[in-house]
């Protein structure tokens, strides 16, 4: 019995344990679920608080960024305006409003571009105001930038730059470029004046930069060199111009390469230089090349064909004159020989008569006549010699025959030569003294020769001046 009773007790305990195990498991499961829910709820609360703090920080950062943007737009000298993706105004600074004219004071955030354009057109302001630069649609999506220039107030120019933003909005900046435009106009006017001056020059001009590329020119240089207009653009190389000119003359490619290299080398080593270029049509072009102060070279081209013809004509005329002069000299030499022969006979016979070598002449007047014949013949011979002297002087071969001469003899001869003309004018010439004067070293024939100046001064005056000097020196 005790054995049975013990067994029954064990079976009841096992049955009670078996009944309580599901309850305990459920309790454990519920406890674990509660713990998990609590953890999840705590994490959710933490994340919500972090998100709230992040949102508040982003809002503060956005407000700070917007404040900084407004400050920058207000401080900028350029006009700035920002529109959102719906083309509504977000912000516009004072400069943008001022550039916009009368309607600038009406701008309010949220105003659409269409409303701004309508306001501008209703205001009817002069110039190209926002109604002009906002009316055009933005470029395509792949074109994010557009720049245009507008006259907003009769000479006041602005540059409008529109940029598309990533969010679809646009940023517009407006800059005053009136000063730049004025300088551009001034530069354009000066450039036009310079080009007009270049075009009206008689010479051709071509300017090459440091890399021997064409930088400036006038049409005259293309006309003189026979260059086509295809070369008339900035950046044309010197090589291409030289090759064209050589090809037009039928120069081979190998020779052209060598000539191009020589021309390039000469620009750096033979400047300044002046040379002549003969065109296929026979025209002669003078080329003058010089260096530019800031680098590069300037070449001037002048048509000197007429000048070369004149020079050739002058050379031909000079040669003709030289031939004529030689002919004249030969003629004078021949004539002088023909005249000297009878004159020498006359002078010789007159000397015989003066000296009465073959007997007395009788009357003294015959001797005077013989002396006059001798003197006249001698004078005529001297004139012939003077004519020859002119020819010799022209040839640079004149020689003096100097000797010691008595001044009294020179004076007496001069008096005798000019006495007839003096008597015709009622003037009586007389020579006295001079026999004690010293000898002078002169060419006697040329001292006695009569020279004609504007006052018809005779050799007698020269002799009188010489005698006076001798007398003064003697005293």
**pLDDT at residue number 185:** 80
pLDDT, one tens digit per residue, over 252-293 is: 888 989 988 998 888 888 878 888 888 888 889 999 999 888
Question: Which distant-in-sequence residues (6+ apart) come within 8 Å of 410 by Cβ?
Answer: 444, 447, 448, 463
**pLDDT at residue number 313:** 92
**pLDDT at residue number 413:** 75
Between strands 297-303 and 273-278, the pairing is unpaired
Q: For residue 227, with 0-12 CB atoms within 10 Å meaning exposed, 13-18 middle and 19 or more buried, which class applies?
A: buried
Helix crossing, 253-269 with 238-248: angle to 10°? 130
Stated pTM of the model = 0.43
In the block, tokens 């009622």 appear at 426
**pLDDT at residue number 314:** 92
**pLDDT at residue number 472:** 47
d(CA 146, CA 160): 8
Asked if the peptide bond before residue 272 counts as cis, ω within 30 degrees of 0, the response is yes
**pLDDT at residue number 127:** 52
**pLDDT at residue number 326:** 78
And the tokens for 62? 């956005």
Q: Using an 8 Å Cβ cutoff, are 273 and 286 in contact? A: no
The C-alpha R_g of the chain, in whole angstroms, comes to 60
**pLDDT at residue number 133:** 64
In Å, what is the CA distance from 112 to each residue of 132, 135, 192, 212, 256?
A: 15, 12, 45, 56, 69
Q: pLDDT in tens for each of the 475 residues of the chain?
A: 333 434 444 444 444 444 456 666 765 666 676 666 666 766 666 776 666 666 665 555 455 545 555 555 555 678 888 888 888 888 888 888 888 887 888 888 898 888 888 887 777 655 556 656 666 665 555 556 788 888 877 778 888 888 888 888 888 888 888 888 888 788 887 777 777 776 767 788 899 998 899 988 888 888 888 889 889 889 999 999 999 888 888 888 889 899 889 988 888 888 788 888 888 888 899 999 998 887 889 999 999 999 999 999 999 999 998 888 778 777 777 777 777 788 888 888 888 887 877 778 777 787 778 888 888 888 888 777 777 776 666 666 667 777 888 877 777 777 777 777 778 878 877 777 667 778 888 777 667 654 433 333 444 455 454 544 554 454 4
**pLDDT at residue number 213:** 92
d(CA 451, CA 44): 140
């Amino acid at each position: 019995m005790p054995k049975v009773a013990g067994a029954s007790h064990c079976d009841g305990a096992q049955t009670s344990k078996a009944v309580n195990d599901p309850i305990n498991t459920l309790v454990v499961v519920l406890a674990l679920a509660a713990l998990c829910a609590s953890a999840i709820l705590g994490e959710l609360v933490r994340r919500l608080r972090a998100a709230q703090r992040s949102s508040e920080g982003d809002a503060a950062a956005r407000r700070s960024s917007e404040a900084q943007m407004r400050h920058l737009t207000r401080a900028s000298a350029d006009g700035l305006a920002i529109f959102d993706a719906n083309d509504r105004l977000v912000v516009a600074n004072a400069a943008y409003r001022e550039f916009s004219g009368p309607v600038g004071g009406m701008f309010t955030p949220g105003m659409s571009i269409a409303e701004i354009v309508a306001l501008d057109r209703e205001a009817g302001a002069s110039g190209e105001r926002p109604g002009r630069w906002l009316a055009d649609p933005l470029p395509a999506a792949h074109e994010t930038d557009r720049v245009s220039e507008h006259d907003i107030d009769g000479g006041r120019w602005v540059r409008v730059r529109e940029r598309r933003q990533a969010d679809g909005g646009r940023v517009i900046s407006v800059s005053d470029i009136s000063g730049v435009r004025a300088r551009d106009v001034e530069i354009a006017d000066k450039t036009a004046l310079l080009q007009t001056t270049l075009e009206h020059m008689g010479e051709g001009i071509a300017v090459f930069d440091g890399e021997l590329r064409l930088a400036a020119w006038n049409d005259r240089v293309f006309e003189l060199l026979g260059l086509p207009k295809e070369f008339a653009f900035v950046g044309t190389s010197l090589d291409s111009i030289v090759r064209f000119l050589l090809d037009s003359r039928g120069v081979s490619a190998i020779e052209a390469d060598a000539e191009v290299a020589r021309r390039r080398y000469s620009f750096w080593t033979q400047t300044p230089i002046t040379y002549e270029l003969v065109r296929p049509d026979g025209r002669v072009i003078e080329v003058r090349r010089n260096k530019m102060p800031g680098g590069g070279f300037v070449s001037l081209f002048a048509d000197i064909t007429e000048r070369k013809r004149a020079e050739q004509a002058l050379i031909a005329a000079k040669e003709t004159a030289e031939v004529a002069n030689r002919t004249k000299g030969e003629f004078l030499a021949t004539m002088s020989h023909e005249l000297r022969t009878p004159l020498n006979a006359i002078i010789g016979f007159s000397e015989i008569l003066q000296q009465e070598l073959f007997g007395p002449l009788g009357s003294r007047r015959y001797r005077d006549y013989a002396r006059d014949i001798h003197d006249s013949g001698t004078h005529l011979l001297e004139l012939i010699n003077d004519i020859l002297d002119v020819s010799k002087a022209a040839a640079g071969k004149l020689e003096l025959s100097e000797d010691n001469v008595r001044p009294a003899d020179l004076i007496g001869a001069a008096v005798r030569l000019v006495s007839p003309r003096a008597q015709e004018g009622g003037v009586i010439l007389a020579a006295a003294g001079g026999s004690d004067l010293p000898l002078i070293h002169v060419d006697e024939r040329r001292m006695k020769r009569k020279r004609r100046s504007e006052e018809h001064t005779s050799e007698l005056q020269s002799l009188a001046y010489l005698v006076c000097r001798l007398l003064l020196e003697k005293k």
